[in-house]
Amino acid sequence: MARITVEDCLENVDNRFQLVLVASKRARQLMLGAESCVPRENDKPTVLALREIAGGFVTSAILDDTAVQPGLEGLEGDDDTVEQIQTGEGGSEAQVEGEPAGTPQLDSPA
Q: What is the pLDDT of residue 33?
A: 93
Q: Is residue 33 part of a domain?
A: yes
Q: Is residue 110 part of a domain?
A: no
Check which CATH number belongs to the domain holding 30 and give it. 3.90.940.10
User: CA 15 to CA 75: how far, in whole Å?
Assistant: 32
**Which has more pLDDT, 61 or 106?**
61
- Beta carbons within 10 angstroms of residue 90's beta carbon: 11
Q: What is the pLDDT of residue 4?
A: 84
For residue 28, the 8-state DSSP code is H
pLDDT (mean) for 15-41: 95
User: CA 37 to CA 68: how far, in whole Å?
Assistant: 19
Work out how many domains the chain is built from and give that number. 1
User: CA 28 to CA 26: how far, in whole Å?
Assistant: 5
pLDDT digits (tens, 9 = 90+) for 53-63: 999 999 999 99
Q: Is residue 54 part of a domain?
A: yes
Residue type, 70: P
Residue type, 5: T
pTM above 0.75, yes or no: no
Q: Is residue 75 part of a domain?
A: no
